[in-house]
A and B are shown apart, each in its own frame.
Chain A
Amino acid sequence: MKELAIIGIGQTPVGEHWAVGLRDLATEAIWAALDDAGLDGADALFVGNMLSGEMAQQAHLGALIADHAALAGIEAVKVEAACGAAAAALRQAVLAVGSGAAEVAVAVGVEKLTEQPPADTTAALAMAADGDYELPMGLSFVGVGALLMQRYLYEHRVPKEAFARFPIQAHDNAQHNPHAMFRSPITAQQYADAKMIASPINLLDSSPIADGAAAVVVTTAERARRLSDRAVRLLACEVGTDTVALHDRADLLWLKGVERSTKKALARAGKRHEEIDLFELHDAFSVIAALSLESAGFAERGCGLCHAQRGDFGRGGRLPIATMGGLKARGHPVGATGLYQVVEATLQLRGEAPEPLQIPDARVAMAQNIGGSGATVVTTILERMEG
């Protein structure tokens, strides 16, 4: 496998894009990334997306978006892995360029969740879970997260309020991110008063339904050095899986997919936990933030919250997380999210994060995109490219 780099990034604001369709959102992000790379095309396009069929009655996104972006003719396919679709598309770009099959590949994640009424969107998102054995029982995707959170509260004997730390910190960061959906801080009192969606998950435990697109341009490290002085090395992009149905896991509170994907990525990158300077984690629900930190090995089992309380994961802590607002406050356009994370990590490594979000001297960043409740996990490790 060749050494790889990201030489261009692009993102649209996350929010409710009533006036813009899927293909335009994706095209905007693709060309932002290509312009950033100083390129006028690519050999391959991998489109991460979960719900174009259900939300926009549109399949066949690869060719459609390649054509709309005036890239018609190149290899282009859609990659779907529920909320992990975007990073899974990046994985395909990595395989394509790493193998030598392509010189330059673009991975774009795009999602429009505002096309349908809320109950239909809720039903569509629930498709990340088991369609034969979870959905017919009335379970929603928030419900899946709630089953995890209820068990977490029970097994680890933590107070529900302790989870407030994650959304408060996410909102605090997002207010400085011009692309974020929620740009205002929240308080512990607002968290305590928030409306219940699926107990114990309330509105402020949950990332919002949103539209958005983000893209990166991947090429070889060798070529990157010639083309750009802002490239970052793409050390690893590794996939781990677990059962789709939550009930098939003997231990609900250990995300094996996270553990597997993290271990593979660290091994591929040749890095240790201590070398990671920031972690763009998949805080779709506040409990997933805690479980990700624990299963990835950044906190002991059951201790994600206590480390968070101590400030370990804040901007000045040992491992800043969700530095641009995370899924909770930047927003969670599901099939695009994984590439927002990678774009944000790249900005950090380039030293281009908006103040005061820039992590000083950030050298190595990890981004982790989760499909479903942990069934598909894609962990990406990036490193600043030294002169």
Chain B
Amino acid sequence: MSLARHWRLRDQRYRLEGTACDDCGTIQFPPRPLCPNCRSRTLSPHPLDGRGQLISYTVLYQAPAGFEAQIPYAVGIVELGEGPRLTAMLTDVDLDALQIGMSLEMTIRKLRSDGDDGVIQYGYKFRPVQFEGA
């Protein structure tokens, strides 16, 4: 597991930092060097607020190496309120209660750990909105 790779992605993994195009206003996650909409090269960091909606999901019963201990677990595509979509593990949810369209919120959880003596990777996951209005 690359230490540098996870480390350089921490703004995204911890705080959903995307970009907003200074020219056309489009918001991207993950951050982009060029706006995919207008090819502008002037984009500014833009943190996303972590609320979204479930677009699709799957429950995995066979996992890639590093995730076997978590089986079964759910992964979904989430559309954020600001527009961008991302892929995230779904947590604090009953696997049989998953529904396309359900409202979700970001939380930071352990993504995986590199054995008993390696680093622990933390990053965004999504869960059903816990307390409406709070």
* Cα distance A120–B63 in the bound complex, in angstroms: 9
For the complex, is B46 an interface residue (Cβ under 8 Å from A)? Answer: no
The interface residues of chain A lying within 8 Å CB-to-CB of B66 are 123
How does the 8 Å CB contact mask read for B99-110 relative to A, with 1 for contact and 0 for none? 010000000000
For the complex, is B42 an interface residue (Cβ under 8 Å from A)? Answer: no
Question: B85, A122: Cβ atoms under 8 Å?
Answer: no
Knowing A122-B63, A122-B65, the reply to whether A136 touches B58 (Cβ < 8 A) is: no
For the complex, is A64 an interface residue (Cβ under 8 Å from B)? Answer: no
CB interface residues, A 147-184, toward B, < 8 Å: 147-148, 150-151, 154
* Cα distance A140–B12 in the bound complex, in angstroms: 21
Question: A138, B61: Cβ atoms under 8 Å?
Answer: no
Question: A142, B62: Cβ atoms under 8 Å?
Answer: yes
For the complex, is A186 an interface residue (Cβ under 8 Å from B)? Answer: no
For the complex, is A383 an interface residue (Cβ under 8 Å from B)? Answer: no
Question: A119, B63: Cβ atoms under 8 Å?
Answer: yes
For the complex, is B129 an interface residue (Cβ under 8 Å from A)? Answer: no
* Cα distance A61–B111 in the bound complex, in angstroms: 34
Knowing A137-B88, A252-B56, the reply to whether A147 touches B75 (Cβ < 8 A) is: yes
Main secondary structure of the interface of A (DSSP, over half): helix
* Cα distance A247–B78 in the bound complex, in angstroms: 8
The interface residues of chain B lying within 8 Å CB-to-CB of A135 are 64
Question: A198, B60: Cβ atoms under 8 Å?
Answer: yes
Closest to A154 in B: B100
Question: A140, B60: Cβ atoms under 8 Å?
Answer: yes
For the complex, is A322 an interface residue (Cβ under 8 Å from B)? Answer: no
Q: Contact partner of A138 among B9, B30, B57, B70, CB < 8 A?
A: B70
Question: B61, A197: Cβ atoms under 8 Å?
Answer: yes
Q: How far is the CB of A248 from chain B (nearest CB, A)?
A: 7
Question: B62, A138: Cβ atoms under 8 Å?
Answer: no
For the complex, is A187 an interface residue (Cβ under 8 Å from B)? Answer: no
Question: A138, B64: Cβ atoms under 8 Å?
Answer: yes
User: Interface residue count for B (Cβ, 8 Å)?
Assistant: 37
Q: How far is the CB of A339 from chain B (nearest CB, A)?
A: 27
For the complex, is A146 an interface residue (Cβ under 8 Å from B)? Answer: yes
Closest to B83 in A: A250
Q: Contact partner of A247 among B13, B86, B125, CB < 8 A?
A: B86
Question: B112, A146: Cβ atoms under 8 Å?
Answer: no
How does the 8 Å CB contact mask read for A328-345 relative to B, with 1 for contact and 0 for none? 000000000000000000
Question: B65, A139: Cβ atoms under 8 Å?
Answer: no
For the complex, is A199 an interface residue (Cβ under 8 Å from B)? Answer: yes
For the complex, is B68 an interface residue (Cβ under 8 Å from A)? Answer: yes
The interface residues of chain B lying within 8 Å CB-to-CB of A247 are 55, 77-78, 85-87
CB interface residues, B 7-55, toward A, < 8 Å: 9, 12-13, 30, 55
Q: How far is the CB of A209 from chain B (nearest CB, A)?
A: 11
* Cα distance A123–B6 in the bound complex, in angstroms: 17
* Cα distance A143–B55 in the bound complex, in angstroms: 14
How does the 8 Å CB contact mask read for A184-208 relative to B, with 1 for contact and 0 for none? 0000000000011111110000000
Q: How far is the CB of B8 from chain A (nearest CB, A)?
A: 9
Knowing A140-B60, A247-B77, the reply to whether A132 touches B89 (Cβ < 8 A) is: no
Question: B85, A248: Cβ atoms under 8 Å?
Answer: yes
Closest to B99 in A: A154
The interface residues of chain A lying within 8 Å CB-to-CB of B128 are none
Q: Contact partner of A147 among B5, B67, B77, B123, CB < 8 A?
A: B77
Q: Contact partner of A133 among B55, B59, B87, CB < 8 A?
A: B87
Question: B61, A134: Cβ atoms under 8 Å?
Answer: no
* Cα distance A139–B67 in the bound complex, in angstroms: 9
CB interface residues, A 203-250, toward B, < 8 Å: 245-248
* Cα distance A252–B58 in the bound complex, in angstroms: 14
Ordered by A's residue number, 19 sampled pairs between the chains whose C-beta atoms are within 8 Å are A119-B68, A132-B5, A133-B12, A136-B6, A136-B111, A137-B111, A138-B64, A138-B75, A139-B75, A143-B58, A146-B60, A154-B56, A195-B61, A196-B59, A197-B61, A198-B59, A246-B77, A247-B85, A248-B85
Interfacial residues, chain A to chain B (CB-CB below 8 A): 118-120, 122-123, 126, 130, 132-140, 142-143, 146-148, 150-151, 154, 195-201, 245-248, 252
Interfacial residues, chain B to chain A (CB-CB below 8 A): 5-6, 9, 12-13, 30, 55-68, 70, 73, 75-78, 85-89, 100, 111-112, 121, 123, 125
